[in-house]
A and B are shown apart, each in its own frame.
Chain A
Amino acid sequence: MSASQGGRSRFRQAVAILFQQRSSAIGTSITLIFVLAALFGPVVAPYGLNQQLTSATFQPPSLAHWFGTDQLGRDVFSRVLLGARDILAFAGVGTLLAIILGATIGLFSGYTGGVVDEIIMRAFDGLLALPAMLLALLLLASLASSDLSVIIVLVVVYTPIVARVVRSVVLSVKELAYVRAARLQGEGLGWILYRAILPATYPALAVEGALRFSYAIFLIASLGFLGIGFQPPSANWGMMVSDARQLTSAAPWALYFPAAAIAVVVVGVNLLADGLKRIAQTPPDPRS
């Protein structure tokens, strides 16, 4: 059996596990829908992001405006749909960078051990002692408010968490025979870390990545709600919730739909993470 066949059957098994249980099937579907929305939102959105229909302000949900319109006559459905791209892209890029950086630091710190490990981990303990939100606010206060700074915030907030998770896997793997064998055949640090040890962390990384992604969405939305980070005219769901707060009696839908979008995607990605965890715990299908 060749490598690619083995890999493909493992992938099929993983998909089967995801859709076996209803919760992870729902989570996976939700995540897929939102990803599709982010990819194709501009194509399918009936109205523009800031297109104002002056004749149709404060419209309740209807066939013409599924999610209603707000005080400026903007179509809430289109805004939610178009908002998906920004929030998912930023959360995704931030999470990815945090995973890459965190995995690298975790691998190095855990494998090296000793004083280096001690210093890195204690520094991260310090960062982790601050609530994520507070840390984000502190950082944004000292950085120029830009798209880049939102990414920096995500990386700073999540790198220590990812590093810890990776490090704990490294500690359990680094005394195994195959790492010793790699040292005996004179492999360099990079090879040992990335070729020998890193694959062992993939399951943990996948789960952690999904979790961080959902929290990143939440954090960006929260920052948007506080009016920090993204600036109008971009449509951050949190910002939309914040704007619609004054309209709760006149146009509650303008509040509910973006809020629901945040809640649904966060729950969906979390359910997906549970499914990924189950995949990680399932041994590969025995071959007969």
Chain B
Amino acid sequence: MTRASTPAPLLEVQRLTVAYTRAGRSYDAVRQVSLTVQQGESYGLVGESGSGKTTLALSVMRYLPRSAAVRGGRVLLNGADLLTLDAKAMRRIWGRRIAFVPQDPHTSLNPSMRIGQQLGEGLSTDGLDQRQARQRALSLLADVHLPDPPRIAECYPHQISGGMRQRVLIAMAISREPQLLVMDEPTTGLDTTTQASILDLIRDLVRRRSMSILYVSHNLGVVAQMCDRVAVMYAGELLEDAPAARLYARPLHPYTQGLLDSVPRLGQNKRRVRLRGVAGRPPSPAETRSGCVFLARCPLAIDLCNDAPTLFETAEGHTARCHRWKEIEAGSADPRQPASRKAGPPRTPTIGREVLALQDVQVHFPLRRSLADVFSRRIRRVRAVEDVSLSIERGFALGLVGESGSGKTTLGLTILGLVERTSGEIHLLGKPLPSVIAGRSPGTLARMQMIFQDVDESFVPTMSIAEILRRPLIRLSGSPPDEASSKAISLLEAVHLPPEFADRFPSELSGGERQRVAIARAFASKPEVLVADEPISSLDVSVQAAVLNLLNDIQVVRDSGLIFISHDLAVIGYISDVIAVIYLGRLMQVAPAAEIFEPPYHPYTEALLSAIPLIDPRGKQERIRLQGDAPSPVDVPRGCPFHTRCPRFLGNLCKEVDPPEQRTASGGMIRCHISLDELKAVQPRVFAFSSPVEGSG
């Protein structure tokens, strides 16, 4: 192919409109969206659920479901309109010119076909014979850095991990050297450390093969790290489009600014900075609207905004759909409300205010025995939690961070008595706590409550919000039924929801509103200890800040202890006073929040920090990648459980001897054979922030 000296754009989407028809009604999922991906460019498309980003990606692929129809616009690949091609012509485009990497590696591979076969199948249409196809499949598996390609090729999808499956999907997508990769949230659902190495791989492939990428994601950090140019979508429209560095540094649309303010940056802490976020609820696709799509939630809305704004070119290559962009650029209109300094001065844990203490808590689950196990008299156990000792102070937050399978949720459920502990002691206000709920009095239950991860499953769907809030008041606080009703209303007010919500059902509320109700329910019985298990990870980015702020405020006002469980170190760093890092059921490091970002770290913490996708394209980060996947909690390695993946592995000592708990000056703990001084000497700071950390000064 010959190329002109000024490279023609690879992909041009022009005024594309896509509508879905559901139950006889039709609504636009993508409205008049235009974007351009240059040769070799990584183009990020950021948006929340319902923003239309995935629909746009699917239209580019011509993969739209039957219920969707393109209502207008063009999708030009090298100048040819893909939307006019028939299936036969598309077959020459798919794979060779554009390829798709889907989100879910669990359902995107044929479970009954070996990996090698699946890869080879696509290749055989290129006229390769079986042996050639197999050779090519093996070299592709090597290209995506899968260890031992011949073995992987013989595996079925269920025999390899999620991260490996995602690599296989990438191998498939690049197998016929396409010019453009369309990726739909390719790392969502993977652990942070796995995500980091997949992102490395994608970056590496793009550079080596000069491919272009259309990268769809809700994760601002991932897009910042991956993309040259970023567009922000909201309610089916493109609101802002700019080079990544510019968009993150000087966003001009109030929504972009709100999104960037909705997630805590590394090193920010609630005691110093309050998150701003975006007010209101995300739009539902069925809503009809006129004027600016962001009108209802925009802090800068004026009368003019009732007329839909066009995309204004604010600078070379930077467009924003806002009437007031000039004022925003000049700083005379600031959608960001002045950051109110956090209520209360920073406090340090004081002795004697301890509400909850765990001592050597151990949780093992016997695996359901098969007949063979019975005969061999070998009982296999899942060692979910091993010898955990922790304490929680009144009014303070403990962050529990770990990857999937680390035992963090099990530990939370064990504290609440929803899972029986195998051994160890838990004391609540100095009194020993029975292992399971059945042994605990209503008074004890009232003192400990939980907020669950999945807002869709947190409530009985057939119960009204009023009933949901009345139950804990009646059962745990002993309120008489009529009094409980008025108390339920004041609980709603405490979480900033209107009293009318009392008559609604959970399905009528948005995710953020439901999580507010969950917070209200959890605080109904005035608990001393609250366990929050990933309370914001199922929410849209723009509402996360409000929920996090609310949780903080109530917790601080009520002076209760909080155990906040998350896989996200930035969020944990923001909300916690003390952070505990857990790996395979063991605490690897415990440290005050400020210290977790400074050496010495546990080598695992170091890797976790290094894997965080910074929400700043210019942020510099040490690159420490873990080899392979975390071992199963059924076969926890001897010695230090982390030794199989540790980048600072010493040798036999780590393999055989349980590492000591080393105390730091501030009362923290690092479980490692390497001495603290040595760690400090060899470890660089994982981060170098391009701008001083906000609020840290």
- Which residues of A are at the interface with B, using a C-beta cutoff of 8 A? 1-3, 6, 176-178, 180-187, 195-196, 199-200, 284-288
Contact = CB atoms under 8 A, between A and B. Distances in A.
A185 B476 contact: yes
A200 B525 CA distance: 27
Contacts of A288: 284, 286-288
Contacts of B464: 3
B457 A177 contact: yes
B452 A177 contact: yes
Interface in B459-482: 459-464, 471-472, 475-476
B460 A185 contact: no
Contacts of B57: none
Interface stretch (B108-116, B316-324, B442-450, B544-552): B442-450
A180 B508 CA distance: 22
27 contacts: A1-B503, A1-B508, A3-B505, A6-B508, A178-B458, A178-B459, A178-B460, A180-B450, A180-B452, A181-B450, A182-B460, A183-B418, A184-B418, A184-B437, A185-B525, A186-B476, A187-B471, A195-B463, A199-B460, A200-B461, A285-B23, A286-B22, A286-B286, A287-B508, A288-B284, A288-B286, A288-B288
Contacts of B448: 184
B505 A6 contact: yes
Contacts of A195: 460, 463
Given A185-B525, A186-B476, A199-B462, 6 more contacts: A180-B418, A184-B445, A187-B475, A195-B463, A196-B460, A199-B460
Nearest to B474: A185
Interface in B404-456: 413, 416, 418, 437, 442, 445, 448-450, 452-454
Contacts of A286: 22-23, 284, 286
B504 A177 contact: no
B521 interface: yes
A10 B448 CA distance: 37
A221 B374 CA distance: 49
B507 interface: yes
A196 B461 CA distance: 9
Contacts of A186: 437, 442, 445, 475-476
Interface of B: 22-23, 284, 286-288, 413, 416, 418, 437, 442, 445, 448-450, 452-454, 457-464, 471-472, 475-476, 503-505, 507-508, 521, 525
B682 to A, nearest CB: 43
A184 B450 contact: yes
Contacts of B462: 199
Contacts of A187: 471, 475
Contacts of A183: 418, 437
A287 B521 CA distance: 25
Contacts of B442: 186
B446 to A, nearest CB: 8
A2 B445 CA distance: 32
B458 A3 contact: no
Query: From DSSP, what is the main secondary structure of chain B's interface residues?
Result: loop
B230 to A, nearest CB: 31
B418 A177 contact: no
A185 B416 CA distance: 11
Minimum-distance CB pairs A-B, first 5: A177-B452, A288-B286, A199-B462, A185-B472, A177-B457
B525 A181 contact: no
Contact of A185 (B23, B457, B475): B475
A199 B507 CA distance: 14
Contacts of B284: 286, 288
Nearest to A181: B458
A67 B462 CA distance: 49
Given A176-B457, A199-B462, A286-B284, A185 B507 contact: no
B452 A181 contact: yes
B43 to A, nearest CB: 32
A240 to B, nearest CB: 44
A2 B418 CA distance: 34
Contacts of B504: 1
User: Which of B454, B457, B463, B507 has most chain A Cβ within 10 Å?
Assistant: B457
Contacts of A181: 450, 452, 458-459, 521
A85 B282 CA distance: 55
A119 B325 CA distance: 70
B466 to A, nearest CB: 10
A186 B445 CA distance: 7
A287 B508 CA distance: 8
A200 B462 CA distance: 9
B449 A178 contact: no
B28 to A, nearest CB: 14
Contacts of B457: 176-178
A191 to B, nearest CB: 9
A246 B556 CA distance: 87
Contact of A3 (B413, B472, B503): B503
B22 to A, nearest CB: 8
Contacts of A2: 503
A2 B500 CA distance: 10
Contact of A184 (B449, B454, B507): B449
Contacts of B521: 181
Nearest to A176: B457
A178 B472 CA distance: 13
B461 A184 contact: no
Contacts of B288: 288
A194 to B, nearest CB: 11
Contacts of A185: 445, 471-472, 475-476, 525
A288 B508 CA distance: 10
A196 B460 CA distance: 6
B476 A177 contact: no
Contacts of A287: 508
A177 B454 contact: yes
A17 to B, nearest CB: 11
A65 B525 CA distance: 73
A84 to B, nearest CB: 34
Contact of B461 (A1, A182, A199, A285): A199
A183 B521 CA distance: 13
Nearest to A183: B437
Nearest to B503: A2
A68 B460 CA distance: 56
Contacts of B460: 178, 182, 195-196, 199
Contacts of B503: 1-3
A228 B201 CA distance: 74
Nearest to A16: B23
B650 to A, nearest CB: 41
A184 B449 CA distance: 7
Contacts of B413: 180
